[in-house]
Amino acid sequence: MSNRLALGVDVGGTKIAIALVDGKLGVTERIDVPSFATDGFELWGRIADATTEILSKADSEIVGIGIGSAGPIYPTPGTVSPVNIPVWRDFPLVKCFRDVFQIDRVTLHGDAMALAHAEHRIGAGIGSRNMLGVVVSTGIGGGLILDHELFEGESGNTSYFGHSSIDFQGKNCACGRTGCVEAYASGPNMVALAKELGWQGTSDSFIDVAAAARSGDVFALQAIETGSKALAVGLVNFVGSLDIGHIVIGGGVAQAGDVYWAPLLKHIRAESEYYGFLRDLKVSPAKLTTDAGLIGAALGVLEIPK
Ligand SMILES: [Zn+2]
């Protein structure tokens, strides 16, 4: 079992990671390609080139390709329309992999679903009966474990709470809706808010807003305060509806450390106070940081004994 190999593909709004994942969930030969492209098939070409290079290094046959993608995704036709990759609308990603690499077994899950799956199997969520896995990055998404199993939902988009509205008169979101959690709480939207408030930084990276906040910049601090509160409200709405006991949070923004986690935990505690039964709600950082998405994607095709 342990020498079985899969190709894992983690599609995000900033980069797409591709790698071999083995039966012990070890990740090798990882290549990242940028997600920005002016044409959908140009982006696919980059992925195909990286995949060819990675597969040439595999020392045994691949059992399948597991894709985890930013949403929305459509597993039945095998297409993806990631909000933050505008050149891909109903893009036939599963068919592209099948046709070009002649591998039948190709699975498609949401990226946050992949993270939740990986964290539940070998990360911060081991043993949790009901768990919400969350990615806070260029976008915001979730993945759900119910009764120890990955729950996919009707269309494969369960826990799409980044685009749940927390203010119907609020900010416009890239998805077209008003007041989405993501419109306030994603990395790029916290950067935009810091600039609106008066932050003098020229960077478009949340890493730099977090650094400014650490050195006491009031505008950066306020942007993180607002973004983390928006996320907390969205999270508590969700876990309060389903009575979920554990939230595991990963993604680039969540790696900013205390300057982000302290206000986030404060707001989650404050919001969950209103639900008595969430008193013991556990909130953990993801353990698998950089490779969780790849491992979770590969779990779609790797059969690992529990
Ligand atoms: Zn939205």
CATH 3.30.420.40 intervals, the chain: 5-113+291-298, 127-286
Distance set, CA 88 to CA 37, 210, 260 (Å):
10, 30, 31
**Domain 5-113+291-298: what homologous superfamily?**
ATPase, nucleotide binding domain (3.30.420.40)
Task: Judge: domain 127-286, CATH 3.30.420.40.
Answer: yes
The rounded Å distance from CA 140 to ligand 1 centre is: 9
The pTM for the full model equals 0.86
Residues 247-271, mean pLDDT to the nearest whole number: 95
Contacts of residue 125, defined as CB under 8 A and 6 or more positions apart, other chains included, come to 116, 119, 131, 133, 145, 246, 248, 284
Cis ω for the linkage preceding 188 (within 30 of 0): no
Q: State residue 306's pLDDT score.
A: 62
The rounded Å distance from CA 136 to ligand 1 centre is: 14
Query: CA-CA distance, 271 to 266, in Å (whole number)?
Result: 9
The rounded Å distance from CA 235 to ligand 1 centre is: 15
Q: State residue 237's pLDDT score.
A: 97
What SS3 state is found at 221? helix
Task: Report pLDDT digits (tens) over 34-59.
Answer: 999 999 999 999 999 999 999 999 99
Strands 246-250 and 282-285: parallel
Highest-confidence segment of 67-71, 119-123, 183-187: 183-187
The rounded Å distance from CA 18 to ligand 1 centre is: 27
- pLDDT surpassing 50 at residue 1: no
Residues 155-169, mean pLDDT to the nearest whole number: 92
- Give percent of the chain with pLDDT exceeding 90: 85
